[in-house]
Structure 1
Amino acid sequence: MPNNQTRRLTQGAMMIALFAVLIAIAFYIPIINVIATVFALLPIAWFSAKYDRTTAIMVATIAVVITFFFGGVMIIPFSLIFAAIGVAIGDALRTKKSKLFLLMSSSLTLLFTFVIQYIISLRLFEFDFIKDSMKLMRDSYEQALTLSEQLTGKQIVTQEYLNALFDMMEMALPASITLAVFALAFILISVNLPILKRLGIEVPKFAAFKNMRLPRAILWYYLIVLIINLFVKPEIGTMLYVITLNFSFLLWVLFTLQGLSFIYFIIDEYMAPNFLKVLITLLAIPLLSFVILLGIIDLGFNLREFVKGKKQKK
């Protein structure tokens, strides 16, 4: 027991030191800061996967406090995000959850820490970094369009169109942030899990993308949103409009993934060349409406079973 306790304290201290170094590199050193950022959660995730939740949270908390001595208050939000997601990943691995659960818990942890920090930034420091970022982007677009008009003598985009575009982007921010958070969580998991496996941690695997199957309940959500848009027709800028816009955006992305998954299934089922997957993925952007429709039909009518049955008859 004393040996186990000593080992736990030693490993905890090592992970705290390694986490603090990675955070400091990610915060201060250009170029390699991208690599350090991706792997910053690794020490906390490894420790959390080996020891109980209470100890892991305590080590993560100490690690965040230690980073204060490297960068003061400004570094705390940055280190808190990676400490929290490290604990979430490690805890899911320790309790042997599925990779889907791992992705969901990590994404929700990332989203929760982001929201908390945004509220703190807004309430305590009166700093709205989302609004300031949107303003900076709008100013950059306007300057670029002004320069283009001066060089060509033609107005490419009207001010009204630009205002409408940015208003739409601002209203779709909740969905955009949610998707960005899930994408970031997926990248962090994909990069760090192979390393954790090499370090002796048992890690789950995702099912093949071609076998991806969304819950059919999503079709009901889509139907509700469609009915609201067709019959209620909420006015632009109202709360109902913002809600339906964000739900529509998220559902389009999910149906696009479902449609691509079905196409990948067809390619593998008929043993077509794998380069077609790359080509189809690139063509999914201009053919987005078709891919979304394919995803809806596959989810509603289970086209895969039809394809399998047709192939078996041959």
Structure 2
Amino acid sequence: MKYRWTSAVWSVVYLLLLLSLSTPFLIITTLFVIIPAVLLFTTLNTRQFILSIVPVWLILGLISPLYIWIAAYLIVPALVMGRWYKKKSPASTVIVAGTITLLGEFLLLLLLGKTLFQFDLYNYVYDVLNEMRTMALSPMQEFGMGGFLGGSPEDIGNNSRAFIQVIPMALIVSSFLITVITHSIVRPILNSMGYAVPKLKPARDWRMPKSFIWYYLIAAVIQLFFLKSDNGLLVMITANLVPLLRICFIIQTIGFFFFLAHERNWNRTIPVILAVLAIMVPPLWIIGIIDLVAPLREMVTKSKR
């Protein structure tokens, strides 16, 4: 794409999204913050891309040097995804590359915080939970209702440890979510601009490896027998692996619903409703396990004949 007004517009959007990270809207805007950089890198050559990014970074630097660090941190996954888009790589490759890059950066950030700044994650989480409890307790005490709100230091400590244990899963899910949202928005925009970008497989073709069943069984057994174990690493691994695999089974279930709807020529809204139910009603992920173990899709195809 030639350097034109659309590039300037995306540069402005890029600036506004980065600035929004210091506002309460960051919970939402974080999901979209790398989109402008991906679009600019994919559609412009290196010189034009630099000309679009540098003014944004200069403005950020004048406001606060911290913005420069944030922008530099977030530009890496944008460059990775943009590079794969330029190579016309499959959508799954782009998503995996973006997810791994974001996850690696999250882990690197935690490592640097621990080694360089002696950042103690447990104490930080404990202080946040304790402060939240204090804020909730203050207005209740004014009405003489403070006794209804529990939460001893020991309880807060246990909650802090439980929260830290699931951080790996939270990082994986958040990295994947940001990447998927970015791809779902970037792809149609690039296609409208004349850049052919491969799309993901249809939902009806989504299938997980059968080995996931064995991973889940092993993790569930370990979690059952070592729930109160002193082996913190083992508890952390199972506490993250089990829910992650359940998410995979939910995806398998959604894929089966779309496959069934496609084979039966159902209305398009039906599999969407079923997909929402699969997410909202946890026991339905068992359908995904059955779909992996038994040839459900083959049975549906044969019954159609």
In which range does the TM-score fall when normalised by the shorter chain? Answer: 0.7 to 0.9
Give the CA RMSD over aligned residues. 4.0
Equivalents in 1 of 2:116, 2:53: separation in Å? Answer: 22
CA deviation digits over 1:162-221, x for unaligned, max 9?
A: 765553222111111110110111111111221122222221111111220112232232
Match of 1:189 among 183, 188, 191: 183
What letter corresponds to residue 15 of structure 2 in structure 1?
Answer: A
> What is the rounded CA distance, in whole Å, between the counterparts of 1:31 and 1:232 in structure 2?
40
Q: Note the residue ranges of structure 2 that are not aligned, 5 or more in a row.
A: none
1:297 aligns with 2:295: no
Instruction: Give the drift of 1:70.
Output: 3.6
Find out whether 1:75 has 2:84 as its counterpart: no
Q: What is aligned with 1:25?
A: 16
* SS across alignment from 2:131: helix
TM-score with structure 1 setting the length: 0.75
Task: Please say if 1:92 is aligned against 2:73.
Answer: no
Does the 8 Å CA contact 1:118/1:128 hold for their aligned counterparts? no
Output the amino acid matched with 2:77.
I
The answer (yes or no) to whether the contact 2:38–2:79 under 8 Å persists in 1 is yes
| Conserved? CA contact 2:126–2:157, under 8 Å | no
Mapped partners of 1:156, 1:31: distance in 2 = 26
Percent identity of equivalent pairs? 22
Corresponding residue SS for 2:88: coil
* Amino acid across the alignment from 1:113: E
Relative to structure 1, the CA distance from residue 281 to residue 135 in structure 2 (aligned partners, 3 Å threshold; closer, same or farther) is: farther
Q: For structure 1, list consecutive stretches of 5 or more residues without a partner in the other structure.
A: 1-6
User: Is residue 95 of structure 2 the alignment partner of residue 103 of structure 1?
Assistant: yes
What TM-score, normalized to structure 2?
0.77
Q: How many residues align?
A: 299
* SS of corresponding position for 1:24: helix
Whole-Å separation in 1 of the counterparts to 2:13 and 2:269: 38
Equivalent residues of 2:77, 2:98 under 8 A apart: yes
Q: Which string of whole-angstrom CA distances, capped at 9 and with x for unpartnered residues, describes residues 253-281 of structure 1? A: 11111112212322333233444334434
For the residue of structure 1 that corresponds to 2:89, the secondary structure is coil
Distance (Å, rounded) in 1 between the aligned partners of 2:293 and 2:61: 55
SS of 2:72's equivalent in the other structure is: helix
Say which structure, 1 or 2, has more relative contact order (CA 8 Å, 6+ apart): 2
Asked if the contact 1:38–1:188 (Cα under 8 Å) also holds between the matched residues in 2, the reply is yes
Question: In 1, distance between residues paired with 2:165 and 2:52?
Answer: 35
Letter in 1 for 2:83: D
CA apart distance, 1:144? 3.7
Please say which of residues 153-162 and 23-32 is displaced more in the overlay.
153-162
